[in-house]
Structure 1
């Protein structure tokens, strides 16, 4: 019995020695290269850590190795930004982060990993940014756990800049207006072409101006105001040669006042957020029987111009959403039959008229290609794309080269 006990003790001692030796070997072999190496960047400049605290597993959770250095007041100098708003780039190892930006006037803004690039620069001058990037992944217990701290100073010297998606716009098109730089207010545009709704972007603002089918050709002045900034921009409108098409006289079925009461208020209301993404899609697979802007003739007399696309939609065909958005009207009107209006944000709305059935409800969110209802034979299926009250050519958005797609990633 004594020999057995001695043997067991000897085995235990040997195992402990092996484990201890292994732990010591692994401990000595565990270096700072075990810590996250991919750098945090700001404005495409690598930030230098000025403090850290890391615990590295060496042998499960039994043996760990610690690397730490207290934070200090050293400020890394990043220089001056004159062209683009600097963005904080957090590598994949960062599971959470805290960010603080101090402006030249001493005001401080705080954010986290999800909001780190939403800060609005309202003045030029010297800034300071403090970042603490953490890694603590419960699903990866073998990973190091801890943080790096960064402190950097930089100067913003950005004059406001206005960019048009095009300086020559054809009738029926949409022009994007991009405003970037250091801005001390929210923008607005005075123009005889239509109302511009601006959305906030990472570099400033983006707005969308309609150039409808009967916009006067030639130069138009856009008077832009944003806080103390006032600027006149020239946009040249070019004429589009629209076709002429004979159409039968329409029977007066009434419903004009009902239509105005239901639809016109939608021209001035809606979401300020951008809800669309990419090119628009046709609501019907049917052929287009009348293009946007076509001059309509009844018995040789001009009766108007088409404000949308008219489709030869097969009876019973499913009519689909041209783009993502919120349904702000869904119902049947005497003048236009089944009617669905989708708000895409920034003043942009799709108006679909002539549906036989309507299968969506007001307040419903839809994605591109979602069913809205069915086509029939009572009315023609018409698709209008408007900004505010001004109609634009839906085909340009369907082609994917409209101002609505201008620098969408910003």
Structure 2
């Protein structure tokens, strides 16, 4: 019995020695090779970590080993960017990241990587980027920790201007992109209408309305931004329209409409809220297309400033795009009326609703119910400022409103 007990003790000691040796071996082998290897890329260059702190699991997570290197003062020099604005690309292992940018003026900006995608460079000169990228382990066998980075770079950008098109048919929208070295905020003088600009990572984007009665021919666009100024040309072409006989509109209430709706032409958010194509607010067929010439009793009565649908009574009317409701109420001239602000001067105006399911101040998403249709039909106007444009063109998803969508 004693020999058997002694044998058991020796076996247990041997197993403990083997397991302990294995654990020690795997512990000593755990290190930098177990950490994420895919690099963070900025401006096309792979960033080099200047510090890290990771917990590396050993033996299936039964043990962890700290792999550390204190953050040092080394700075990676990326050189000058004179063409494209440097973009940040994070590998798949990054769970979250914090970015800090120090501009040539000394002003610092900090935020997440998603927020950094909207950062606007407003001057040339030397910048410093610091970044910490974390990985939060979802499994016990994954390392968890962070890398730190620090890099200098120089912007040497000249202003760049791009139009989504240099020829535009009546009813369309032309986007204007301005990037590079900028002083102040841009302004555009044109007889086509008021242009609102929004900030992008590379500069600004504005949307030029080419309404149904814009004069055909060459239009001059006078762009200014601080001390920078340049003139552009945009050629407007006539749209093909149909002639449609309609009943005489005897409704009154024009002054009430002006008092409630016209002030909305110049108010609203400067931030872009739409994404992708617009959607028809009604499933019914279009009865009147944008720009159609309307005839009453054989005489011309004007042109359609929107799209007219003739849905069944009480059929749902939905939001054409994401935005914020600026007005929801009943007007003598237009019946149940909803105005949605999509940002950057772009708004949807829906008329002829029997019931309303939204109220002013409410945020809506594309396809959300706005109310139900009246028996007389629903009209949809899409405006930039006070100028109407063709809603059906926005529904294609290939117009100026979708130009460089994610900038």
Note if contact 2:121-2:201 (Cα within 8 Å) is conserved in structure 1: no
1:313 match: 311
- Aligned pair in 2 of structure 1 residues 239, 133: CA closer, same or farther (>3 Å)? same
Note if contact 2:316-2:373 (Cα within 8 Å) is conserved in structure 1: yes
1:167 equivalent in alignment to 2:172: no
C-alpha separation between the residues in 2 aligned to 1:241 and 1:64? 72
1:67 match: 67
The Cα shift of 1:122 comes to 2.0
Alignment of 1:6-405 (within 5 A): 9-10=9-10, 12-59=12-59, 63-137=63-137, 139-251=138-250, 253-377=251-375, 379-405=376-402
Note if contact 2:120-2:200 (Cα within 8 Å) is conserved in structure 1: no
C-alpha separation between the residues in 2 aligned to 1:106 and 1:375? 56
The Cα shift of 1:62 comes to 5.7
- Aligned pair in 2 of structure 1 residues 5, 327: CA closer, same or farther (>3 Å)? same
Residue segments in structure 2 that go unaligned for 5+ positions in a row: none
C-alpha separation between the residues in 2 aligned to 1:100 and 1:282? 42
Report the secondary structure of 2:257's partner residue.
helix
C-alpha separation between the residues in 2 aligned to 1:394 and 1:204? 27
TM-score by length of 2: 0.92
- Aligned pair in 2 of structure 1 residues 333, 183: CA closer, same or farther (>3 Å)? same
Q: Considering only aligned residues, what root-mean-square deviation do their CA atoms show, in Å?
A: 2.3
Note if contact 2:316-2:369 (Cα within 8 Å) is conserved in structure 1: yes
Note if contact 2:120-2:199 (Cα within 8 Å) is conserved in structure 1: no
Report the secondary structure of 1:395's partner residue.
helix
Report the secondary structure of 2:21's partner residue.
helix
CA deviation profile, 1:202-227 (whole Å, cap 9, x unmatched): 21111111111111111112222222
C-alpha separation between the residues in 1 aligned to 2:234 and 2:122? 28
User: Which 10-residue stretch deviates more, 191-200 or 315-324?
Assistant: 315-324
C-alpha separation between the residues in 1 aligned to 2:106 and 2:332? 61
User: Which 10-residue stretch deviates more, 45-54 or 95-104?
Assistant: 95-104
Note if contact 2:346-2:383 (Cα within 8 Å) is conserved in structure 1: yes
The Cα shift of 1:23 comes to 0.3
User: Which 10-residue stretch deviates more, 32-41 or 298-307?
Assistant: 298-307
Residue segments in structure 1 that go unaligned for 5+ positions in a row: none
2:403 match: 406
C-alpha separation between the residues in 2 aligned to 1:254 and 1:100? 58
C-alpha separation between the residues in 1 aligned to 2:366 and 2:117? 28
The Cα shift of 1:3 comes to 7.2
The Cα shift of 1:228 comes to 2.3
CA deviation profile, 1:278-300 (whole Å, cap 9, x unmatched): 11111222222222112222233
- Aligned pair in 2 of structure 1 residues 285, 114: CA closer, same or farther (>3 Å)? closer
C-alpha separation between the residues in 1 aligned to 2:330 and 2:106? 57
The Cα shift of 1:267 comes to 0.9
- Aligned pair in 2 of structure 1 residues 103, 275: CA closer, same or farther (>3 Å)? closer
TM-score by length of 1: 0.91
C-alpha separation between the residues in 2 aligned to 1:103 and 1:288? 52
- Aligned pair in 2 of structure 1 residues 145, 400: CA closer, same or farther (>3 Å)? closer
User: Which 10-residue stretch deviates more, 53-62 or 317-326?
Assistant: 53-62
User: Which 10-residue stretch deviates more, 27-36 or 112-121?
Assistant: 112-121
